[in-house]
Structure 1
Amino acid sequence: MTVCIENAQHPLIIDSGAHCSIVARNYLDNHFPNLENQLLPSKANNFKSTSGKMTSIGTIIKEIIMLHRKCKIRLNPEFFVLDDSHIQGFLLGTDYQRMYGVDIYNSKNRHITNGTKK
């Protein structure tokens, strides 16, 4: 999907399998020149993906505006900035949902059925 960040359009992937939100440093360098001034320290430094190990150089908070027919949806997620990722855009993981109190996993009362009624 395309979202608006700092008055420009950027690609955003919503990944329900990703534990946290990430963005590649090279993408930020190309689109946000003052990256060093906005970078916050990161508590987690090493990440693993199917393509291998990745290193975080910090975090960044960006206001995302999702344009909808009837309204604008605004989010302020924190993205881990990965030094060795090749994602061209922002990846929104499930951490932003937990931040807003959304439980997509139904972890309190999880019921799994196989097409039969209880």
Structure 2
Amino acid sequence: MNDTESKVNVDTGAVCTCVSKDYLQAILPVLKNHLLQIEGIQFSSASNNMYPFGILDTNLVFTNPEGSVRIKTENFVMDNSISQHIIFGNYYLNIYGIDINSHKDRYFTIGGNKRQKFAFSNMPKQISMVSSKKDTYEEGFVANRLVEAQINPPLAPKMRNELIDVLYTYNNAFASDNE
């Protein structure tokens, strides 16, 4: 994103492209200088309501040895999202003809060009410049999602932290009472 390596989740169920404010500030520290303000728009994900912070125009570049593809995108910056990646929604999948569903191999194409294939890379679990933010994301997860959880008090601190790490890693598997 804008010459900064970023982790992107291609989400066919997401209508728009969005990114968490915290993740964006980690990779683009001058965030506030480039935001378009928005008001009166409501968003929701599968797990909760999302609160928009603004819109950021960016360029996403899909690299390929045979020729990279640059896509201009509008990213909705979400104030309360804890994701550590950009969510690339189906709006741009449709506009740019990105096909990710019909292949036995792990690649995708853009614009129907079957000769130019982009491989899905095996990304490390964390990108180094964002890994320092993990504690902040995890604290937000504990404060917002585990607020009603009752963890056995006699658990040793190390065991409690390991349990929270596992719960945080698989946090997409949980839903609240109203979901």
**Which TM-score band (shorter chain)?**
0.7 to 0.9
RMSD: 2.0
Higher helix proportion, which one? Answer: 2
1:23 and 1:103, CA in 2 relative to 1: closer, same or farther beyond 3 A?
closer
User: Following TM superposition, by how much is the alpha carbon of 1:99 offset from its aligned partner in structure 2, in angstroms?
Assistant: 4.1
- The one-letter code sitting in structure 2 at the alignment partner of 1:69 is P
Query: Equivalent residue for 2:89?
Result: 93
Query: Equivalent residue for 1:42?
Result: 38
Q: Under a length normalisation based on structure 2, what TM-score does the superposition of the two structures give?
A: 0.51
- The one-letter code sitting in structure 2 at the alignment partner of 1:6 is N
Query: Equivalent residue for 1:109?
Result: none
Q: Quick one: which of 60, 64, 77 aligns to 1:68?
A: 64
Distance (Å, rounded) in 1 between the aligned partners of 2:73 and 2:40: 16
| CA-to-aligned-CA distance 1:58-93 (integer Å, 9 cap, x gap) | 110111111012111100110100000011121110
Point out where structure 2 has 5 or more consecutive residues left out of the alignment: 100-179
1:67 and 1:11, CA in 2 relative to 1: closer, same or farther beyond 3 A?
same
Query: Equivalent residue for 1:56?
Result: 52
Q: Under a length normalisation based on structure 1, what TM-score does the superposition of the two structures give?
A: 0.74
Q: 2:12 aligned with 1:12, yes or no?
A: no
Q: Which has the higher contact order (CA 8 A, sep 6+)?
A: 1
From the CA coordinates, give the structure whose radius of gyration is larger.
2
Q: 2:12 aligned with 1:23, yes or no?
A: no
- The one-letter code sitting in structure 1 at the alignment partner of 2:46 is T
User: Following TM superposition, by how much is the alpha carbon of 1:22 offset from its aligned partner in structure 2, in angstroms?
Assistant: 0.4
Point out where structure 1 has 5 or more consecutive residues left out of the alignment: 105-118
Give the percent of matched residue pairs that are identical in Structure 1 and Structure 2: 27
Maintained 8 Å contact 2:4/2:27: no
1:17 and 1:44, CA in 2 relative to 1: closer, same or farther beyond 3 A?
farther
Q: Quick one: which of 72, 75, 79 aligns to 2:75?
A: 79
Aligned pair count reads 99
Distance (Å, rounded) in 2 between the aligned partners of 1:53 and 1:65: 29
